[in-house]
């Protein structure tokens, strides 16, 4: 039976897609190595700088700041969650690694949002680009994240930056999709009103479309952050460190205690960031107007 399956697999000629991809990566390495080294150095430096900034203050002071931030944005209940969750991370001994993970997620999110916002805006205004991007984004989201690490390792070596690159690629699509969706959902009459008052295309985009689409865009940013956090463990495979390193160590050592504790730390951090971005969305001008309309 096995021989039959093998014979059937050989009916069509083999297409060396993998070899072609390898040659392409080798070509990039041979011709653009200084550029990739510059990117790696820049990304690693930003990561080290942000990590140092997050760890500059004592852990308990940072716990207090996170608590106050949550209280200010969402009220005392979220502030209490910030106190309990961050305090628990400190008590479990994962504070340093949690801040490393937070630095990686923040940088990857900033890069992904910087890329996704203009692309999403362009796709919203050009149907041809939207149709072209759709299969590309599907491919980026469905390709196993581990595959991204292979060319990243070949081009950047072991360290934080390959994990950052893989995280950005994996997390960018929802930012593009929801930015485009938010722009397309803006009432055309609002745009026509802006045009009637003599607004320029940039003013219409910045003052009308982006403002009205902000809740949807912030939902996309929320998804970018969540996907970036989901890459924590995978990024640790190439030396990214952080909480993913603890989770990975627990797997290789079959350490149930370490796995449970480090996994809980990732969940606590993810919930805090998720509620934080939701709170920013609730503070947008559109949400405030909806609440005022509902109150009246």
Write 72-79 long-range contacts (CB < 8 A, 24+).
Answer: 73/276, 73/279, 73/280, 73/283, 74/275, 74/279, 74/282, 78/275, 78/279
CATH class of 33-295: mainly alpha
Q: What is the pLDDT of residues 74-115, one digit of tens each?
A: 888 888 998 999 999 999 889 999 999 999 999 999 999 999
Which pLDDT score is estimated for 274?
86
User: Is pLDDT of 287 > 70?
Assistant: no
Per-residue pLDDT, 3: 52
Residue-wise pLDDT for 242-264, tens only, equals 888 888 888 888 888 888 888 88
Whole-prediction pTM:
0.85
Per-domain residue ranges of the chain: 33-295
Report the share of the chain in percent with pLDDT over 90. Answer: 19
- The top-scoring range by mean pLDDT among 19-23, 27-31, 89-93 is 89-93
């Amino acid at each position: 039976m096995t021989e039959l399956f093998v014979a059937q697999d050989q009916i069509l000629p083999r297409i060396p897609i993998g070899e072609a991809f390898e040659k392409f990566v080798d070509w990039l390495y041979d011709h653009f190595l200084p550029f990739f080294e510059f990117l790696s150095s820049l990304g690693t430096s930003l990561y080290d700088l942000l990590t140092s900034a997050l760890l500059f203050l004592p852990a308990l002071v940072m716990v207090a700041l996170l608590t106050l931030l949550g209280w200010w944005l969402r009220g005392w209940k979220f502030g209490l969650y910030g106190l309990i969750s961050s305090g628990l991370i400190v008590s479990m001994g994962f504070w340093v690694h949690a801040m490393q993970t937070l630095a990686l997620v923040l940088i990857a999110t900033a890069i992904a949002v910087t890329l996704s916002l203009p692309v999403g805006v362009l796709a919203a205004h050009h149907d041809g680009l939207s149709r072209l991007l759709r299969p590309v984004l599907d491919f980026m989201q469905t390709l196993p994240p581990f595959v991204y690490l292979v060319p990243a390792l070949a081009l950047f070596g072991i360290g934080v930056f390959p994990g950052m690159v893989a995280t950005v690629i994996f997390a960018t699509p929802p930012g593009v999709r929801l930015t485009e969706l938010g722009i397309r959902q803006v009432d055309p009459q609002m745009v026509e009103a802006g045009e009637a008052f003599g607004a320029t295309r940039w003013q219409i985009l910045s003052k009308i479309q982006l403002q009205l689409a902000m809740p949807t865009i912030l939902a996309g940013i929320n998804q970018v952050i969540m996907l970036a956090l989901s890459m924590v463990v995978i990024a640790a495979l190439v030396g990214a460190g952080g909480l993913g390193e603890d989770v990975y160590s627990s797997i290789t050592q079959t350490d149930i205690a370490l796995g449970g504790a480090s996994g809980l730390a990732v969940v606590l951090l993810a919930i805090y960031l998720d509620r934080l971005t939701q709170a920013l969305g609730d503070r947008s001008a559109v949400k405030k107007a909806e609440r005022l309309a509902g109150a009246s």
